[in-house]
Amino acid sequence: MTWYEDLFNRQTFLDLYAEQDSRLAVQEVDGLVSLLNLQPSQSILDVCCGYGRHAIELAKRGHRVTGVDLAPLQVNAAVAGAAKAGVEAEFLVGDARHMRFQQGFDVTLNLLTSFGLFEEDAEHLEMLARIADATKLGGLFLMDLWNREQVIRDFGEREIETRPD
């Protein structure tokens, strides 16, 4: 098992991010709808969907959503979340490097820095090839990545002083 399979299949990881990220999902999807000019009923593929926070919010807005994630724990949480929200969305356990779909999607998303985790560049290229295959000709693909300079700036070594008040 790779480090990322282990991490994303941990309940503690799911518990840590689920509540916080779900609150942000509405705002993030607002941004996606505006940026991509999304129209209701478009087909959307969420690659590395995690527990489905964006996919579920998109389904609430009338989109036909499919989410794929490598971690069964995350996919099970996505299925439960969609049922709780009363929306239809398809969630599949699958590896983004090997996914195949019969139909093309209007929009394909890869959000929250879920790209770049593989050991070899060839694996990243394979994932991008599968995303291209899954996206309709003329469709949209949006990938969310961290900005290198911001990461270096924000995650550098720091001294933190804690005061009682």
> ∠ CA(8), CA(12), CA(13), 5° rounding?
35
Query: Burial, 59: exposed, middle or buried (Cβ in 10 Å; 0-12, 13-18, 19+)?
Result: buried
Q: What per-residue confidence (pLDDT) applies to 13?
A: 64
Residue 150 token pair? 């911001």
pLDDT digits (tens, 9 = 90+) for 2-47: 755 665 666 666 676 666 666 788 999 999 999 999 999 999 999 9
Residue 40 backbone zone (phi > 0: left; psi -120 to 50: alpha; other: beta): beta
Of 72 and 21, the structure prediction assigns the larger pLDDT to 72
Q: Which of 122, 20, 13, 120 minimizes the C-alpha distance to 69?
A: 13
Q: Any idea where the domains of the chain sit in the sequence?
A: 35-154
- pTM value is 0.80
Q: What is the CATH topology of the domain spanning 35-154? A: Rossmann fold (3.40.50)
pLDDT, mean of residues 55-74: 95
Looking up tokens 């995303």 gives: 131
116 forms beta bridges with: none
* Distance between CA atoms of residues 164 and 119, nearest Å: 44
